[in-house]
Structure formats: structure tokens, C-alpha cells
Structure 1
């Protein structure tokens, strides 16, 4: 008889734990859905902003950027900070930096390592 009572108590405890975990799971699912909805809304806003921004970009340049971005884990352009490409962290040598400095500001410069478009300071 004691064994049956112990089993019944264990079943009751496990049932209670199952109910509690079910409530936790339901709460987590609601939070997940809310987070996904917020991400979706943010993504739509970013896409709208991107479309507005790209309206003023040269189509040929934009096509180059998109091609690079598609082939390099989503990175199409990176800052040239000092002597370093921030896309791959390659340190450019002095000769390359001098060559870049001599180019027109609107000329496209790409990193030799990661092939990103380098965004230079004006």
C-alpha cells in the first residue's frame, strides 16, 4: 500500500511539474512570437529605408556592391580606417595607401584581401 501511495504522490508531483513547464513553454512561445513580430517590423522599416537610400545611388555601383555582398557573407563595403580594412582587418601597406590617396574621391577602391569596396574618409 505504501508503494502505491508513493507512486501516486510521484504522479501528482510530475503532473504538477508538467503543468508548470507547459505554462513556461506557452509564455516562451508568446515571447518568441512577439520578438519575431518586432524583428519583422524592424526589417520592413530597414528595407523601406534601404530602397529610399538606393534611389540616389548609381545603378552600376549598386550592382557591384550587391555582387560583392552576395559573395562575401553580406559585407559589400567596409571602412578604411587609418591603414586597415574593417571588412577583413587587413593592414594595407604604405604604397597601397599612397595609391589610394592619389585616386579621385569618387573612384571605387576595393580591398585586395576581401574585395570589399573600401569607404574612405573625405
Structure 2
């Protein structure tokens, strides 16, 4: 295949633009915000689960406290009624009086025990309320960080996309000035060779595979016509000659 030296030089410019597009694609995929947001999202999910569990336990404890307080109130009311009966003198039988006094004493003990239960439940509930407050604060903080990271990522992506559109347009214009058959070969080789289809021969070294040409290969390149499209014997990429090729 033959192509004017100027067309081959332009092919290097197309390659440079393709390399920049690939760099932008890589940068887009590997923005540090991607991993940061994924980590923060995982933290948010975990904290939400912990918060729901703590809120559920606090709600259960609140009902437990209400039930314990109702039990205390029932015992207290019964004790008040018994004391009123005792004080009224309506009970005259010694045996009935003894039973009533015994019941009042038992109710006092029962009330004391139930009040201890209420205190224990209240302490547990207070601890759970503090836990809920702590988790809510942590969740708000992590969600705030996630939002900030998403904003940064959005700004970075918009910048990358804007540059990508500019470079892609430049690539279209530059590729349009390269002969179709040369561009077709270049695109084919680029797909086969990790995104690099054409490389400069610089100081006797192929910049595609980074290997120096041996004397036989150099002589073949020297002997080739100026418009001949030569290929690197090592990587098979299009080898573009320039004044810095060292021939």
C-alpha cells in the first residue's frame, strides 16, 4: 500500500487523538469518586439497617415501658382502695382485717418491684434513644459526604465528556483527510493491537512496541519508497517515518 508521506504523518495525528479518547474513557471509568460513592453507599445502607433496628427496638421498649407503668398504676390503685377500706372501719372482722393488711403489704412489695422494672426499662429506652440519635447523626453525615462525592463526580464527568466531544470532532476532521484505504488498515490494526495502529519510527525504534529495529529491518525501511506504507516487523503496526527516524 502507498500513501503520501503527509498522509502518513496525519495518521499519527489521528493516532494521538485516538489515544486521548482512550485516555478520557479510562479516566471516566476510573474516577476516584466512583469507588468513594460505592463505599459511602454501602455505609449508608449499613447505617440505615442499624438505625431501623435501633428504632424498632426503641419502639418495642416504649411499649414495654407503657405496659410496666400501667401495671404499677393498677397495683397502686388497688392498694389505695384497700387502704381506704382499712381506714373507713368498714372491715371489723379480725381475720378480714389481717387479710386486708397482709394484702396491702403484698401490694406495696409488688408496687416496689414493678417500679424497679419501670426504671430498668426506662434506662434501656434512654440508651436506645441515644443510639438512635447517634446513628441518625452518622447517617446524615455519610449521606452528606455521598452527596458531595456525587456532585464532584458529576462535575468531573461533564468536564471529561466536554473534552471527549471536542477530541472526537477533531478526530473526525483529521481522519477525513486520510486516504480511506490507509485509514481502514489503521483502524483494523488498532483494533488488533491494543488501540495503537500506527507508530512513529523514532531514533531507529518503533514507538508502538518500543523495540529497536535491527540493521536488516532498517535497511529495508531506508530502501522503501517515500510513499510506501511500511510495517514494523515486530508488532506489525504501520511505521511512520519522520525526520527523527534515524535512518
Structure 1 and Structure 2 fold alike (TM over 0.5): yes
TM-score by length of 2: 0.46
Q: Secondary structure at the match of 1:52?
A: helix
Greater relative CO, 1 or 2 (CA 8 Å, sep 6+): 2
CA distance in 2, matches of 1:71, 1:108: 18
The answer to whether the aligner puts 1:14 opposite 2:132 as a matched pair is no
Q: Which structure has the greater CA radius of gyration? A: 2
CA distance in 1, matches of 2:128, 2:206: 66
CA distance in 2, matches of 1:6, 1:27: 32
TM-score by length of 1: 0.88
User: Segments of 4+ in structure 1 off by > 3 A?
Assistant: 1-7
CA distance in 2, matches of 1:31, 1:73: 31
* Residue of 194, 199, 212 corresponding to 1:73: 194
The answer to whether the aligner puts 1:40 opposite 2:161 as a matched pair is yes
Alpha-carbon distance, 1:77 to partner: 0.9
**RMSD, matched Cα:** 1.6
* Residue of 91, 100, 112 corresponding to 2:221: 100
CA distance in 2, matches of 1:42, 1:103: 39
Alpha-carbon distance, 1:85 to partner: 1.4
Structure in which a larger fraction of residues adopt helix: 2
Give the total of aligned pairs.
Answer: 122
CA distance in 1, matches of 2:189, 2:207: 15
The answer to whether the aligner puts 1:27 opposite 2:170 as a matched pair is no
5+ long unaligned stretches in structure 1 = none
